[in-house]
Structure 1
Amino acid sequence: MSKPAFIAHSLCLGSVLLLGACNSSSEVTQALPASSVALADCGAGSQPETGLQGQVPLADRQSGRNLSAYSCNLKLVGQYQGHGASVVSPSQSHCAYLSTSGALLDPLQLLESNPGVYAVDVSDATQPRFSANLPGPAMNIGTWESLKTNAPRQLLGGAAVGPLTGVGFFDVYDISQCESPVHLNGIGDSSLEVPDNLFGHEGNWSPDGMTYWSTGNALGTITAIDASQPASPRIVYAGIAGFPVNHGLEFSADGNTMYLATCFPGGVAIYDVSEIQSRQSTPSIHPIGSVHWNAFSCGQHALPVSWNGKPYLIAPDEFDSEGIHILDISDPGAPKIVKQIQLEIQRKENAAIRSADTAGSGLFGYESHYCTVDRTDNPRALACGYFQSGIRVFDVRDPLQPREIAYYNPAAQTGKGLSLQHSLHAWIGGLLPTISDLYTSDSGISVGTLSIDARYVGNYVAQLPSLLTNLGDGGPVSGNLSADWCSSPPRFVGNQLWVSCMDNGLLVLEFTNGVYSPS
């Protein structure tokens, strides 16, 4: 084995130990179209960014400017911070559900008077309030990206995940009275459950709410759980899809087609899952098509939409500053990338700036995560949550020429780590190196098809002693908290966006200056 090959193999092995798998193939990926997106025109009342689009500059992190929000045509009208939130915290009806980093990372959470997921009543959007806690086993262990609602059946479900991938538990709650959820699959009146899942990291409901799908991330494990009787969920399928690492999943309106995000390589795989949807006795899933764009990135999810009757997917990626991809799936056997959306800070020429800004601020740099549209047919607006870049809103009436119309990046919660024990960012996640930019095609020392930003790794190692002793910022758990992680899916509610960020909790944002109207 040559020296470059040995180095690449060693780096790949490291990612296996950390993330569960690695793709060492030289798979050909589709060339990407131009990725720039027009900047927002910020109107009255805005507090615009001081650097590049999407950036919280190092100078602002050092001066304290980051302790106030950056805003453009969005204003904060209500907030419930609580103890922060974890990776995905959804909302439905007039309620939001704040997930937690989990008792495996912070066992002291089990001693709280209200352990588990928090239900927040947002009927008064200016004064959201805590209404109930959800103490099921998955909710206590931590649900990572699996906590999802289903509107038709008014259900909330989440898999036990913990630090990265978990096993066994799947909680189902009736949220028809959304401020007072009822645990449906507990044993008797207890919070105990019979295990009814295999591996969990991500998850989602089929549109009809009859099936909950759980992906395990590592090795591409996937489980389909029959929730037709939510008090007695049962596994109806377990297999492998999206090997070596799968991620978020979305479905066609009839539930027969699954759009599965993949990691290493980052991309989307499309599957026929009609045999599970129709409850055939010995079901299988069948691959239809796939597309990949970066051997070392990680697709997050792929949202199905249509413009003028033509089907597309909107697919954010959480690694390597890939941003968001729009795919034409007119031929589902051969999906085609038609647009990439990158913020200025994500572009190749700004890699060194990214590394300097995000050093010491945790696992994720300036990465996209979850996106939502205002409508699935002919969407006009796309809202996306980003790590460190806040909430970004794009006009997508022309999907090939999107333009940014608004953003809100909330105030950094520097120094508050110990009071934000439900935040994955403030509890362990903020202490880790920024692995989302560790394997990068943009900077550093090239090793075959792999590049690694050696400068950042060196900076992180040098800063580790101060991170471990900086008790004023939350001590050995939170890093510097110099920019929030807004990883949850935003939700359009009239002229507002409801969204949760890890450190700031639930935010109710309102559009200003006429940039968006729900009608």
Structure 2
Amino acid sequence: MRTHTLLTPIPATIAALAMAWCAAWPAHATEDPTPDLHAAVPPATCGPGSQPETGLQGQVPSQDRRSGRSQQGYSCNLERVGQYQGEGATWVSAVAGHCAYMPTSGLANKQKKSPGVQVIDVSRTDRPNLVTALDTRAFRAGTWESLKASPSGKMLAGVGVGLLIGAGKFDLYDVSDCANPQLLNKSSLTGDSLPSTNFAHEGEWSPDGKTYWSSGLVAGALTAIDVSNPAKPKTLYFGGSSMLVNHGMAFNADGTRMYLASIFPAGVGIYDVSDIQHRRTKRNVRQIAKLTWQDGSISQKPLWVTIKGRPYLFVIDEAGADGMAGGIHVIDIADEANPKLVSHIRLAIQLQANAAVAKEDGANNGLFSYDAHYCSVDRVVEPTAMACGYFQAGIRVFDIRDPRQVREVAYFNPPAQVGKQALLRGSEHALLPRSFKSITDLVVNPLGALSASPESQRADLTADWCSSPPKFVNNELWTTCTDNGFMVLRFTNGAYPFKP
């Protein structure tokens, strides 16, 4: 069992370090069994009123992009009933009460009409409307994947990530009156002192809402911020994991176990964080186990659930390997020291056999292919459905009652916003270049790779990036895509909730 104490993150060339770190992973890391890379989950059966996909499951074909068909969108047992597009969004939005919080890119604040996090009142689902924008220093800088509402829905927090990695900035809001957020840590906005010690890219709350965690892309950085006194958040832990490059995280019910996604290599680590959860004097993060795989890369975010009393992780890969797009690994963690892969969730367009088609489709639409990014479930204990946001493949909904036999039940891929780059100053997608040399180019050279490009060189927007987790709200999905902004989706044809 490895213990990780206080360390100072050292910025360096991540790609070079990653190669050395992969070779040095501890011997007890568990490799997954040989996966079936040639099977997609059973596709949804679309009922009346749907506008089904015209190609493979999850695909927006090149022909549809050229003809303009992708600008009509695709739907199957889901319909859009309300929308607030604004100037587009960045990667991950949040929901609390009857409100949605849509962060915008920090790349073009001078050109935007409304910088920061957009507060959207969804009291009327058919007419979401902008109430205000929160442009305090972390929220204005761009929260990337860190903007999260607390489990109670009473607080909203995020770190200032800016261009891929941020340090020091942390904003905490009272959103108990969700349309009228109140900044809680006002004192940290004055002077040059940092409100917290963090080197952040991602963020998540502990289940009891007393700790906000952030993770960084360098040196396995982890930060735990105590928010028991919201006016004066304080850093409880600033240290590392056994990973070189962390990503998103999840926790078990009592907050003593952290499940942390790894970027290099793809996989997930299980950590004992009870010292921090119980506020012990000496605070360490202890590794319990790791599981790695070779059929994906840049693992993004795990979800912890229990199904029939058994704990599972659903781990999303943000990118693929060997020509496949990033999918979802389902892992049984009943024996937490020996996690076991039990199934995969992939769409047809994500399979290795369709790699050339996928590459052609998205050649001018930015870095990401038909990759998964973030998911959510209808409930953590005995969930029945999981909704996931995909780059280019839209919102996909799965029946997960049997985690070994997952099937798709609905999808909604919103209308492509071709030609609207100038209007979407808040969309990370609309501001990015048409193509990158590689993912390494994005990680190693974020200032160059993510700087706003001339409009003629930007992504063609022939398919949206739905990177935010869809939220189940009263048998609807509240979600955000980078170009279409915030949307309310309603299930049709009895697709959900499932009949007994």
Using structure 1 for the length normalisation, give the TM-score.
0.86
Secondary structure of 1:97's aligned partner: strand
Q: Which runs of 5 or more residues in structure 2 are unaligned?
A: 1-11, 443-448
Give the superposition deviation at 1:116.
1.0
- What RMSD, in angstroms, separates the aligned Cα atoms of the two structures? 2.5
Aligned ranges 1:30-45 → 2 under 5 Å: 30-34=32-36, 35-45=39-49
1:79 pairs with 2:74:
no
Structure 1: which amino acid aligns with 2:493?
A: N
The answer for the alignment partner of 1:453 in structure 2 is none
Give the superposition deviation at 1:435.
4.0
Give the superposition deviation at 1:327.
0.4
The answer for the alignment partner of 2:334 in structure 1 is 330
CA distance in 2, matches of 1:438, 1:337: 31
Contact conserved, 1:359 with 1:434, CA < 8 A, in 2? no
The answer for the alignment partner of 1:492 in structure 2 is 472
The answer for the alignment partner of 2:491 in structure 1 is 511
CA distance in 2, matches of 1:193, 1:80: 36
CA distance in 1, matches of 2:208, 2:400: 27
The answer for the alignment partner of 1:343 in structure 2 is 347
CA distance in 2, matches of 1:150, 1:24: 34
Give the superposition deviation at 1:188.
8.7
Q: 1:433 aligns with which of 432, 436, 461?
A: 436
The answer for the alignment partner of 2:7 in structure 1 is none
Secondary structure of 2:66's aligned partner: helix
CA distance in 1, matches of 2:191, 2:73: 39
Secondary structure of 1:305's aligned partner: strand
Secondary structure of 1:108's aligned partner: coil
Distance 1:169-1:243 versus aligned 2 partners, 3 A rule: same
The answer for the alignment partner of 2:456 in structure 1 is 475
Contact conserved, 1:242 with 1:260, CA < 8 A, in 2? no
The answer for the alignment partner of 2:279 in structure 1 is 279
Could you give the per-residue CA deviations for residues 403-452 of structure 1, whole angstroms, max 9, x where no partner exists? Answer: 11100000111110111111110112x5342846999xxxxxxxxxxxxx
Aligned ranges 1:70-469 → 2 under 5 Å: 70-102=74-106, 105-109=107-111, 114-152=114-152, 154-187=154-187, 194-294=194-294, 297-320=297-320, 321-428=325-432, 430-433=433-436, 435=438
Distance 1:256-1:468 versus aligned 2 partners, 3 A rule: closer
Could you tell which deviates more after superposition, 362-371 or 145-154? 145-154
Distance 1:426-1:353 versus aligned 2 partners, 3 A rule: same
CA distance in 2, matches of 1:507, 1:192: 38
CA distance in 2, matches of 1:197, 1:509: 38
Give the superposition deviation at 1:195.
3.1
Distance 1:416-1:511 versus aligned 2 partners, 3 A rule: same
Structure 2: which amino acid aligns with 1:148?
A: K
The answer for the alignment partner of 1:451 in structure 2 is none
Secondary structure of 1:50's aligned partner: coil
Contact conserved, 1:137 with 1:192, CA < 8 A, in 2? no
CA distance in 2, matches of 1:248, 1:19: 22
CA distance in 2, matches of 1:119, 1:19: 40
Give the superposition deviation at 1:186.
1.6
User: What's the % identity of the aligned pairs?
Assistant: 48
Distance 1:149-1:342 versus aligned 2 partners, 3 A rule: same
Secondary structure of 2:359's aligned partner: helix
Distance 1:266-1:161 versus aligned 2 partners, 3 A rule: same
Could you give the per-residue CA deviations for residues 462-508 of structure 1, whole angstroms, max 9, x where no partner exists? Answer: xx9xx976xxxx434x3211110000010111221000000000010
CA distance in 2, matches of 1:284, 1:39: 45
Number of corresponding residues: 469
Could you give the per-residue CA deviations for residues 223-277 of structure 1, whole angstroms, max 9, x where no partner exists? Answer: 1111111111111111111422110011111111101011111111000000001
Contact conserved, 1:364 with 1:437, CA < 8 A, in 2? no
Contact conserved, 1:364 with 1:435, CA < 8 A, in 2? no
CA distance in 1, matches of 2:354, 2:40: 13
Secondary structure of 1:383's aligned partner: strand
Secondary structure of 2:480's aligned partner: strand
The answer for the alignment partner of 1:448 in structure 2 is none
Give the superposition deviation at 1:90.
1.1
Contact conserved, 1:90 with 1:96, CA < 8 A, in 2? yes
Q: 2:23 aligns with which of 11, 22, 25?
A: 25
Give the superposition deviation at 1:315.
0.9
Could you give the per-residue CA deviations for residues 124-156 of structure 1, whole angstroms, max 9, x where no partner exists? Answer: 000000011111111010010000000326110
Structure 1: which amino acid aligns with 2:475?
A: N
CA distance in 1, matches of 2:369, 2:16: 17
Contact conserved, 1:365 with 1:434, CA < 8 A, in 2? no
CA distance in 2, matches of 1:176, 1:486: 27
Contact conserved, 2:246 with 2:261, CA < 8 A, in 1? yes
Structure 1: which amino acid aligns with 2:400?
A: V
Distance 1:434-1:333 versus aligned 2 partners, 3 A rule: farther
Secondary structure of 2:270's aligned partner: strand
Contact conserved, 1:187 with 1:193, CA < 8 A, in 2? no
Distance 1:296-1:45 versus aligned 2 partners, 3 A rule: closer
Contact conserved, 1:39 with 1:405, CA < 8 A, in 2? yes
Using structure 2 for the length normalisation, give the TM-score.
0.89
Give the superposition deviation at 1:194.
3.9
Could you give the per-residue CA deviations for residues 72-98 of structure 1, whole angstroms, max 9, x where no partner exists? Answer: 000000000001010001112110000
Aligned ranges 1:4-15 → 2 under 5 Å: none
Give the superposition deviation at 1:21.
3.9
Structure 2: which amino acid aligns with 1:400?
A: R
Structure 2: which amino acid aligns with 1:412?
A: A
Give the superposition deviation at 1:335.
0.7
CA distance in 2, matches of 1:189, 1:16: 31
Contact conserved, 2:291 with 2:339, CA < 8 A, in 1? yes
Structure 1: which amino acid aligns with 2:108?
A: D
Could you tell which deviates more after superposition, 412-421 or 151-160? 151-160
CA distance in 2, matches of 1:333, 1:188: 40
Could you give the per-residue CA deviations for residues 177-202 of structure 1, whole angstroms, max 9, x where no partner exists? Answer: 10111111123997997431320100
Distance 1:266-1:207 versus aligned 2 partners, 3 A rule: same
Secondary structure of 2:408's aligned partner: strand
Give the superposition deviation at 1:295.
7.7
Distance 1:100-1:18 versus aligned 2 partners, 3 A rule: farther
Q: Which runs of 5 or more residues in structure 1 are unaligned?
A: 1-14, 440-463
CA distance in 2, matches of 1:343, 1:19: 32
